[in-house]
Chains A and B, each alone.
Chain A
């Protein structure tokens, strides 16, 4: 079943076409990777899906409904969560608070109830806390629970970023370079988590990655981009042996821009 579809999506910044008529669809339960050289438009596609940028043309469809003009703050309640390439956590809050913020789209308490901290608010808070603890257990973050993010090492922050996205209880998870800044062991660990997310939690994943071993380890299908355009799409093996992709990205002659 097709969970997400991008149809001819484009965005221009001034004269630069950062994303140029890209079309792809993602099936439920799969891990879909996007690869390509820096500047190819991969993170831009994520920013389009999270609606941080407005597309200049094309359609975005999720669960059969179009969301091309939905405001960014409503994406989480649709069921789409994302991580950021350069970690956009909240550094002056504790890990627990960061994860609880991930639950925000599930909170339905009224403002006046919050001011008075009525029992309904208390009950909701306890419920959120239990859900967050599930994610903490899943990712093994127990001992960092009350640490300020500013005091945590980079590798841990990457995991917290993933955890925060999981707290949204998404149907679609966008991971932006989950292994950047991680060493070999940590990258393998990340790979196992992504597999667990797919198998145990049933979440569909779209991943932007440069680390080919990770891409091979977890992906069902891969799409290669260059200069905002799709170069190839298929299984990891198909894409990685595709001559265009080899030339543009993986190794081969240096190509001059068209």
Chain B
């Protein structure tokens, strides 16, 4: 059992709760930095993809997990970031400029879509974002002069300080850097008044207003930040896939993003990363074990999406706090050992209240 003793308020503001945190996360940082020396190219490529999805996951987590605004159209922002990055690169703009520009442009799009949806409650917002994602997907297909439509768009190689970033290792390090950056600013935001305003909006809009929180301003802001981060992920995604096709950014991808947030655990940054690991690595895992599955299950078509759906359903039914929740439960079990009680993690019965009258 660890007790936290505080002698100064500034200790509460720190990103790390105690020295144990600093040690373990420091170790993680070291492992992550030297991973390309240890693991083979395939695994590094996969981890790079996990980081990219984690960046988008963090963006969406801020919107959904912390502010309570659902978006079923975030694949659109990934696509916008990807195409803006690729198109600017093809005009000769250096990567170190196209990357932030892609992020900022996508953030602007997020603000534009956030503004009119402000008054919408959860359900309508979900539907509106679904429609928005679909429309943007059609724009990618039709605006062939810019995006190349179904012919695809070959993504030029980016150069960082003169070094070409095209190997899996290069993408790994760049994605890692962006992920670290995104995590840092998210953590900063969450310990500031804006982070608290987000939570307030999620839990009770009326009293948030009475405390002086301007709903429209903050909702638009969070939408913009969320879209911007997803745009950054999109720019990196373009280099991961190297060839952009407009139908990659469809509803199914948006659902994958929401799954990252949900399976990871709503309301936690660590959850976004765990969720990204789950969503990216599940297909690989299935591919590896598929031949060993009994009853010829492995040879059935449509195995991947069905397992995806099955895991999603199981998580919601039995572990609604997601992977992060499971992580915390395991940690506490170890910390309280041998005093674990049967009812420690028993879920309380909850009765639904109307969301029409928020």
Contact = CB atoms under 8 A, between A and B. Distances in A.
A130 B215 CA distance: 26
Given A92-B202, A114-B193, A101 B210 contact: no
B206 A76 contact: no
A201 interface: no
B210 A76 contact: yes
Interface in A108-126: 109, 111, 114-117, 121-122, 125-126
Contacts of A105: 211-212
Interface string B103-144: 000000000000000000000000000000000000000000
Contacts of A89: 203-204, 207
Contacts of B9: 126, 129-130, 133
Nearest to A96: B12
Interface stretch (A34-42, A77-85, A206-214, A218-226): A77-85
Contact of A115 (B185, B206, B211): B185
Interface string B82-93: 000000000000
Given A73-B213, A77-B212, A122-B10, A104 B206 contact: no
A101 B196 contact: yes
Contact of A129 (B12, B192, B210, B215): B12
A128 to B, nearest CB: 8
Given A97-B196, A130-B9, A114 B210 contact: no
A89 to B, nearest CB: 7
A89 B206 CA distance: 10
Contacts of A88: 204, 206-207, 210
Interface in B184-229: 185, 188-189, 191-194, 196-197, 199-200, 202-204, 206-215, 221
Contacts of A100: 193, 196
A91 B209 CA distance: 16
Nearest to B15: A117
Contact of B207 (A77, A84, A111, A122): A84
B interface residue count range (under 10 / 10 to 19 / 20 to 34 / 35 or more): 20 to 34
B200 A121 contact: no
A114 B189 contact: yes
Contacts of B199: 90, 92-93, 97, 101
Q: How large is the interface on A (under 10, 10 to 19, 20 to 34, 35 or more residues)?
A: 35 or more
Nearest to A75: B210
B267 interface: yes
A102 B197 CA distance: 10
A168 interface: yes
Nearest to A106: B212
A101 B211 contact: yes
Contact of B203 (A73, A81, A90, A104): A90
Contacts of B189: 114-115
B200 A90 contact: yes
Contacts of B209: 52, 72-73
B13 interface: yes
A102 B212 CA distance: 8
A74 B209 CA distance: 8
A104 B193 contact: yes
Contact of A114 (B13, B192, B200): B192
Contacts of B193: 100, 103-104, 107, 109, 114
B210 A72 contact: yes
B188 A168 contact: no
Contact of B215 (A73, A84, A116): A73
Nearest to B9: A129
Nearest to A74: B212
B211 A168 contact: yes
A50 interface: yes
B192 A117 contact: yes
A124 B197 CA distance: 16
A87 B202 CA distance: 16
A76 B191 contact: no
A91 B350 CA distance: 14
B221 to A, nearest CB: 7
A86 to B, nearest CB: 10
B210 A52 contact: yes
Interface string A46-90: 000010100000000000000000011111110001101000111
A168 B213 CA distance: 12
Contact of B188 (A71, A102, A117): A117
Given A90-B204, A92-B202, A104-B213, 5 more contacts: A50-B210, A72-B210, A91-B203, A104-B211, A164-B211
Interface of A: 50, 52, 71-77, 81-82, 84, 88-93, 97, 100-105, 107, 109, 111, 114-117, 121-122, 125-126, 129-130, 133, 164, 168
12 contacts: A71-B214, A72-B210, A73-B209, A73-B215, A75-B210, A88-B206, A88-B207, A92-B199, A92-B267, A93-B196, A93-B200, A93-B203
